[in-house]
């Protein structure tokens, strides 16, 4: 089996086709890969590990390349258990292995796995010479954990980027972008960023600036394809999303119990279309998983939220969605909202509180409906849509 990425650098990652929810929250319709890399140099180094559930095929891949030779260094770029989960097992098979990480890394290794032994603590810009390959370390804290770092092979221009530039989806057959159809990964990259990394736009921007001058020929992320031919596109996706830059379009996310609030959403969408807005996405929050709603919110500049009043509060799924948006500190969105009630209105008031916290630019006049649609409510919904379309097109 061909494992070589470039020269002495090999892919030894695995696919998880069984897990249905990443972090027990985010759907995985195409599964996910856990990527690890082996540098078979004069001194052998392993870059990150895999989920402990897949240790046996992982070890088999390693031994298929180096046989019974020892691994001298285990470089840990990121400590999330889907990448660090096999540290203890690797240590059992290679007891003399030296773990390489920064000062934040080793407290987590002790806390998660109780692993001790020789440590190689690296700082910004430190160099590790393996013989042919020269590895330089760059600290990238909060992309998206405090210990995250990246390892750059100065010899072949290979960047081991941790979770940065990653995406959901297994690697079916091949792992290099020039040997597989990458079409499905682009939307999954947006969803991965929005769900996992979304809060950390500023640290991502700092990392991009730090790495911008490096002669990168290959990006080896911990999830998704190894990028060689499409590096510019990958970097552009992360750059755009981390600046919260969005396309022209509107996401309408709404809750509805008996269909009346949904009619408000439909009226708004129809008028948006009449005003020339082409990208319109409606999400019934009881049917659409938040993972996909968040991805669309990162993708489009306009956001309109609608909710019925439920026990004098927001519809629960809407309340949960608003919490997720605030957590990610999304910026630069045009925001409108609407709500409904039967005997005492609260939804519009609660969404107004969210609007203030989010610091989004409020567009139009909020629409509040009592019980069911009437001609004046249709007209107010259409007015909100016209205001949103005008703001988008301004």
CA nearest neighbour of 94 among 68, 57, 65: 68
User: Taking the alpha carbons of 266, 270, 273, 277 in that order, is the dihedral positive or negative?
Assistant: negative
- Give residue 1's pLDDT: 62
CA nearest neighbour of 126 among 84, 73, 51, 169: 73
Q: How confident is the model at residue 116 (pLDDT cuts 50, 70, 90)?
A: confident
Q: Which tens digit of pLDDT belongs to each residue from 213-262? A: 999 999 999 999 999 999 999 999 999 999 999 999 999 999 999 999 99
What lies within 8 Å, CB to CB, of 162 at 6+ separation is: 48, 77, 78, 83, 140, 143, 148, 149, 150, 221, 222
What is the SS3 assignment for 21? strand
Q: How confident is the model at residue 2 (pLDDT cuts 50, 70, 90)?
A: confident
Helix axes 290-299, 316-328, angle to 10 degrees: 50
- Give residue 157's pLDDT: 98
Instruction: Say what percent of the chain tops pLDDT 70.
Output: 100
- Give residue 57's pLDDT: 97
Whether residue 324 is predicted with pLDDT greater than 70 in this model: the reply is yes
Looking at residues 318-334, what average pLDDT do you find?
97
CA nearest neighbour of 351 among 341, 343, 342: 341
Whether residue 7 is predicted with pLDDT greater than 90 in this model: the reply is no
Cβ neighbours around 296 below 10 Å, total: 23
- Measured CA to CA, the distance from residue 388 to residue 363 in angstroms comes to 6
Looking at residues 271-286, what average pLDDT do you find?
98
**Which position has the higher pLDDT, 2 or 244?**
244
Cβ neighbours around 140 below 10 Å, total: 27
- Measured CA to CA, the distance from residue 392 to residue 389 in angstroms comes to 5
Looking at residues 89-106, what average pLDDT do you find?
96
- Measured CA to CA, the distance from residue 222 to residue 162 in angstroms comes to 5
- Give residue 106's pLDDT: 95
Whether residue 331 is predicted with pLDDT greater than 70 in this model: the reply is yes
Looking at residues 344-349, what average pLDDT do you find?
94
In DSSP terms, 128 is beta-bridged to: 135
Q: Which domains does the chain have, with CATH numbers?
A: 4-242 (3.60.15.10), 247-389 (3.40.50.360)
Q: How confident is the model at residue 48 (pLDDT cuts 50, 70, 90)?
A: very high
Q: Which tens digit of pLDDT belongs to each residue from 161-187? A: 999 999 999 999 999 999 999 999 999
- Give residue 27's pLDDT: 98
Q: Which tens digit of pLDDT belongs to each residue from 136-165? A: 999 999 999 999 999 999 999 999 999 999
Q: Which tens digit of pLDDT belongs to each residue from 17-31? A: 999 999 999 999 999
- Give one DSSP letter per residue of 236-265, joined into a string: HHHHHHHTT--EEEEEEEE--SSSHHHHHH
Looking at residues 102-130, what average pLDDT do you find?
95
- Give residue 30's pLDDT: 97
């Amino acid at each position: 089996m061909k494992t070589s990425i470039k020269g002495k650098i090999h892919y030894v990652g695995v696919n998880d086709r069984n897990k249905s929810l990443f972090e027990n929250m985010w759907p995985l319709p195409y599964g996910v890969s856990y990527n690890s890399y082996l540098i078979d140099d004069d001194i052998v180094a392993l870059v990150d590990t895999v989920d402990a559930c897949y240790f046996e095929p992982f070890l088999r891949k390693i031994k298929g390349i180096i046989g019974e030779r020892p691994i001298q260094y285990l470089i840990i770029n990121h400590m999330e258990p889907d990448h660090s989960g096999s540290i203890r097992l690797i240590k059992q098979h290679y007891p003399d292995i030296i773990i390489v990480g920064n000062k934040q890394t080793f407290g987590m290794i002790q806390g998660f796995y109780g692993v001790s032994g020789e440590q190689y603590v690296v700082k910004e810009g430190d160099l590790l010479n393996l013989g042919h390959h020269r590895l330089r370390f760059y600290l990238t804290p909060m992309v998206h954990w405090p210990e995250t770092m990246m390892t750059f092979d100065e010899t072949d221009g290979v960047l081991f980027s941790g979770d940065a530039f990653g995406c959901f989806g297994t690697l079916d057959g091949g792992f290099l972008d020039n040997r597989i159809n990458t079409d499905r990964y682009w939307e999954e990259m947006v969803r991965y960023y929005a769900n996992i990394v979304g809060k950390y736009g500023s640290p991502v921007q700092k990392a991009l600036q730090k790495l911008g001058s490096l002669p990168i020929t290959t990006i080896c992320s911990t999830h998704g394809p190894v990028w060689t031919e499409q590096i510019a596109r990958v970097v552009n996706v992360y750059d755009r999303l981390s600046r919260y830059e969005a396309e022209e379009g509107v996401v309408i996310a709404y809750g509805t119990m008996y269909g009346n609030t949904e009619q408000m959403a439909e009226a708004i969408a129809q008028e948006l279309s009449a005003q020339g807005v082409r990208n319109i996405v409606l999400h019934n929050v009881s049917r659409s998983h938040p993972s996909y709603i968040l991805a669309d919110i990162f993708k489009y500049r306009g956001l309109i939220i609608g909710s019925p009043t439920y026990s004098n509060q927001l519809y629960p799924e809407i309340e949960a969605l608003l919490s997720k948006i605030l957590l990610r500190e999304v910026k630069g969105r045009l925001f409108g909202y609407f709500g409904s009630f039967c005997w005492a209105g609260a939804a519009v008031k609660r969404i107004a509180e969210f609007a203030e916290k989010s610091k989004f630019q409020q567009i139009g006049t909020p629409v509040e409906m009592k019980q069911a649609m009437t001609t004046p409510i249709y007209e107010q919904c259409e007015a909100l849509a016209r205001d949103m379309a005008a703001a988008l097109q301004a």
